[in-house]
Amino acid sequence: MPLPVVSLPKLGNIAQRPRRNPIYDTEGDNDATAIPARLSFFRNFTAFQAASLSLTKTKGRDHNMDGPGNAMPQGDTMHVYGITVPVSARNANLTTLANVVVSEEIHRIRSARRFTWLLGRTPFITAQLDEFPSGVGVTCIFTTHPDATVFPTVNSKANRSNRYDVTLGGAPVELGATESFQVDFEAQGVTPSPTVELYWSVHFWGTLLRGIRG
């Protein structure tokens, strides 16, 4: 007697659990090199756009995304309430005399760039990069005094009161599963050259719904 053939259910998303968790990606500027005309985020999660950076793009430290890039992972939905843009020198010691100018350089680079969030190919939010805080304190700390104390660019977690608010009437912006998006930093005709490598991160803060696979 032949055995019955039983169809197995397809593996897939059986539920989404909401969590208060950002999505983020990081790109870098080379030292002693003019900043690029365009620096793109959320496009490539395996390598930095600037290939000659001393670090290799690493999940966790530099991003928390799955997939090749340029879209939300399948099964994930993000409800975005706010945006922060922290910057770090990572490998450089900013307390040395040679690097005391770095805080001033960060200020000049922020002033030279435009931030554009694209949904598909359509610009959704366009503003000066200066409008997007690091997540703590003022947008950035800078000095031209040669003996000034240099403060770290990030010294605590972001808080809800110090983000670029993207809500409308309290409602967040939804990034649906597989939806195409990216962020571009574009230079505004001025291209400073940082003394050290600078690593910029774009954080979308809000509620992440991630699929639970069975």
pTM higher than 0.85, yes or no? no
> What's residue 148's pLDDT?
56
Q: Which residues contact 109 (CB under 8 A, 6 or more apart)?
A: 29, 35, 192, 194, 198
d(CA 83, CA 103): 21
97-to-105, 145, 149, 164 alpha-carbon distances in Å: 14, 11, 10, 33
d(CA 184, CA 198): 16
Q: Is residue 81 within 8 Å of 162, Cβ to Cβ?
A: no
Phi-psi region of 118 (alpha: psi -120 to 50; beta: other; left: phi over 0): beta
Give the confidence band of 177 by pLDDT, cuts at 50, 70, 90: very high
H/E element, 47: none
H/E element, 187: strand 181-187
Quick: pLDDT tens for 96-144: 777 778 888 998 999 999 999 999 999 999 999 999 988 765 444 545 5
Residue 2 half-sphere exposure toward CB, CA atoms < 13 A: 3
Quick: pLDDT tens for 12-64: 545 678 889 999 999 999 999 999 999 999 999 999 999 899 999 999 999 99
Any idea where the domains of the chain sit in the sequence? Answer: 36-213
d(CA 54, CA 62): 14
Give the confidence band of 213 by pLDDT, cuts at 50, 70, 90: low
> What's residue 136's pLDDT?
60
d(CA 144, CA 213): 53
Give the confidence band of 10 by pLDDT, cuts at 50, 70, 90: low
Q: Is residue 166 within 8 Å of 173, Cβ to Cβ?
A: yes
Considering only CA atoms, which of 86, 84, 85, 75 is closest in space to residue 175? 75
Percent of the chain exceeding pLDDT 70 equals 80
Give the confidence band of 1 by pLDDT, cuts at 50, 70, 90: low
> What's residue 14's pLDDT?
52
Q: Is residue 85 within 8 Å of 94, Cβ to Cβ?
A: no
Give the confidence band of 189 by pLDDT, cuts at 50, 70, 90: confident
Backbone angles phi, psi at 128, to 5 degrees: -65, 145
Average pLDDT estimate for 55-79: 93
Lowest mean pLDDT among 29-33, 65-69, 85-89: 65-69
Considering only CA atoms, which of 26, 20, 21, 22 is closest in space to residue 202? 26
